[in-house]
Amino acid sequence: MSLKKNVEALRLKKAIVEKGGGDKAIEKQIAMGKLPARERILALLDPGSFHEYDMFVEHEERNFGMDRKELPGDGVITGTGTINGAPVCIYAQDFTVMGGSLGLKHARKITKIMDHALKLKMPCIGINDSGGARIQEGIGALAGYGEIFYRNTMASGVIPQISVILGPCAGGAVYSPALTDFVFVVENISKMFITGPNVIETVLGEKISQENLGGARVHAEITGNAHFYALSEEECFKQIKTLISLIPHSNDEKAARVEPKKPKSRKKIENIIPNDPKQPYDVRDIIYALADDSQFLEVHELWAPNIVVGFGRMNGETVGFVANQPLYLAGVLDCDASDKAARFIRYCDAFNIPIITLEDMPGYLPGVDQEHAGVIRHGAKVLYAYSEATVPKMTVILRKAYGGGYIAMNSRHLGADFMFAWPGAEIAVMGPEGAANIIFRKEIMEAEDQEAMRQQKVKEYVEKFANPFVAAAKGYIDAVIEPQETRELLLHALSVSEKKYDYRPAKKHGIPPF
Amino acid sequence: MADKKINPEELVDFAVTARKYKTLLTPKYKARKPWTNPSPYDVQSSIPGTVIKVLVSEGQVVKEGEPILILEAMKMQNHVDMPFTARIKKINVTAGEHIPKDTLMVELEPAD
């Protein structure tokens, strides 16, 4: 055969694989409101940048009639390409090929591209759309999952790992996304659960729909398994591209620097916070007033909204913002908010991203459900994450910093590099009302007009202690600043922290309160 | 960049220690179960499952440690035993019934 004929034969062979499960199955996929696997990759990557590998990999299962079954690409597409010019490894499960089910060879294609990503230090993106383990392959499929989980763990904190859930993702399949850094879900398309509605109904008699059990909204709002929620695949891909542009592509580099831009927020930073400490505001307005171009990519927007975390840029460089949100639950820390903040802080620390903490919180959430849900060990994660982090860490106390919350939110005592406080900040062991009730209990009890005495003592406490100057006098606060100075001071603090080196004792690893 | 307006009418009073803050509640917070002190005379299901067999009848005095019923869950036939000697006041489940977690299966009363 001439080379020309060989090339023609190759093209034919490739075209067959590229058809996946065939026209009918692709039609079905589209009817479900989903893009075919290959189109998803092409939509996410820069045009013309995708190159596929392992197209001709075949499964080796011989039981249950599998010897007569041909599965193009074994149900998964793998390759490399670029996003905004940055190299990435990518795989996409093809639901049109035997439901995207995972057999050993399917898994080995995935682990191969993961190994590639880890060795070549680039992000790894997995598009999940699979009915789960290929039951015909038995424990071969389980072995495949295990090999993926192992690599997820090895790559954790070295390269960014992104999971995109664009279809069902059930049973063992959910644990790879759970081990990765960021999980993206799309309304009506994503479904994640360990055991599906059918099993739950047969075993337990509980009736629930797939959507209510593990739909996109459930994971974005209730479980916190998903970090980003979108209404369409298109919106989801846009979010991924924005994220990739903001984060470093491995742990031995920094995020790409872009042209610095001034905030374009219309709200003046000094006018955002109400004078009455009991009144809320949206802390994201403060972030918009501080961040370059007022751009902020919020992570976990719907889950535990009482704390806000996400990425923005300061002077062209990526920073992580962690901010109490008085608009929800008065900005308290609870189990979920602690988990959310701690994980984000560890992400920033692993990938050389400085952390800016904006503090306005009344303490931990009181309640039996919180105590029984383990708010002690969950809350401890925040202390651990801040203390452990060696990236530049700066805090601005906007308003309230009471008690355990004051310590937890990147205080000087946990190793903050810079502590700033606005002049109206209340840094105290607890809220003035509570403190006055305890300290002046006797005076209040013995007074003729108890309420008047209580009010007077609260006022005294506010004047003496609910301000930033007690902490500043002890050196716990480096500078009491005017709101308008905040951005300039943070930019300065970031620029002088560039070569920060922080000593940590040698260890195999710590034991965070997981 | 969102520029959302806060609607003051949606804000609720939220007490953290001695001070009440104006704030919004999350759906998860609203859905939380209020705490109730469990009565030792209430026998509740600790796991969802199927009642296979009820081994006692109402009015009967049953000794501590003796089985009250069998609850099948997670492919195991779990014996639910008497926590202490008492009289069976009321049985709220029947054999074959699927029950969720925390179902009040049997109510007890002092034996004498």
Q: Model confidence over A369-419: pLDDT tens digits?
A: 899 999 999 999 999 999 999 999 999 999 999 989 999 999 999 999 999
> Is the pLDDT reported for residue A322 higher than 90?
yes
CATH number of B42-109: 2.40.50.100
- Can you tell me the mean pLDDT for B76-101? 93
Place of tokens 């927007």: A301
Residues A20, A159, single domain; the answer is: yes
pLDDT band at B3 (very low <50, low <70, confident <90, very high): low
> Is the pLDDT reported for residue B1 higher than 70?
no
Residue A411 lies in a domain: yes
* Cβ distance of B23 and A280 shorter than 8 Å: yes
Residues A360, A479, single domain; the answer is: yes
Minimum-distance CB partner of B16 among A295, A327, A332: A332
Give the pLDDT score at A62: 86
Give the pLDDT score at A166: 97
**A480: domain CATH number?**
3.90.226.10
Residue A251 lies in a domain: no
Torsions phi, psi for A102 (to 5 deg): -95, 115
Burial class (CB in 10 A: 0-12, 13-18, 19+), A119: exposed
State the total domains in chain A. 3
Q: What is the pLDDT of residues A124-152, one digit of tens each?
A: 999 999 989 998 998 999 999 999 999 99
B25 CB neighbours in chain A (<8 A) are 328-329
Give the pLDDT score at B37: 86
* Cβ distance of B21 and A433 shorter than 8 Å: no
> Is the pLDDT reported for residue A204 higher than 80?
no
In chain A, positions 318-377, which contact chain B (CB-CB < 8 Å)?
Answer: 326-332, 336, 362-363, 365-369
CB pairs under 8 A between A and B: 99
Q: What is the pLDDT of residues A38-81, one digit of tens each?
A: 999 999 999 999 999 999 999 888 889 888 888 899 999 999 99
- Can you tell me the mean pLDDT for A18-22? 92
Residue A440 lies in a domain: yes
Closest CA to A182 of A107, A124, A234: A124
pLDDT band at B19 (very low <50, low <70, confident <90, very high): confident
ipTM of this complex prediction, to 2 decimal places = 0.80
* Cβ distance of A329 and B19 shorter than 8 Å: no
Q: Is A189 helix (H, G, I), strand (E, B) or coil?
A: coil
* Closest chain A residue to the Cα of B5, Cα to Cα: A282
Give the pLDDT score at B2: 52
Number of Cβ within 10 Å of residue A486's Cβ equals 21
Residues A368, A234, single domain; the answer is: no
Residues A437, A479, single domain; the answer is: no
Residues A399, A437, single domain; the answer is: no
Q: Is A92 helix (H, G, I), strand (E, B) or coil?
A: strand
pTM of the model: 0.92
Number of residues that this document lists for chain A: 514
Residues A356, A395, single domain; the answer is: yes
> Is the pLDDT reported for residue A179 higher than 90?
yes
* Closest chain B residue to the Cα of A331, Cα to Cα: B23
B54 Cβ partners below 8 Å, 6+ apart? Answer: B68, B69, B91, B93, B94, B95
Give the pLDDT score at A184: 98
Residues A234, A375, single domain; the answer is: no
A34-43, A66-75, A250-259, A476-485, range with the lowest pLDDT: A66-75
Place of tokens 């793998």: A78
Q: What is the pLDDT of residues A427-444, one digit of tens each?
A: 988 888 888 889 999 999
Burial class (CB in 10 A: 0-12, 13-18, 19+), A361: buried
Residues A321, A437, single domain; the answer is: no
Give the pLDDT score at A1: 66
pLDDT band at A207 (very low <50, low <70, confident <90, very high): confident
Give the separation between CA A212 and CA B48, rounded to whole angstroms: 18
Tokens of B30: 């609203």
Residues A208, A285, single domain; the answer is: no
> Is the pLDDT reported for residue A157 higher than 90?
yes
Q: Give the helix/strand (H/E) hosting B53.
A: strand B49-54
Q: Which domain holds residue A451?
A: 432-465
Minimum-distance CB partner of B23 among A326, A430, A432: A326
Residues A180, A205, single domain; the answer is: yes
Q: Which residues pair with A381 in a beta bridge?
A: none
Residues A436, A422, single domain; the answer is: no
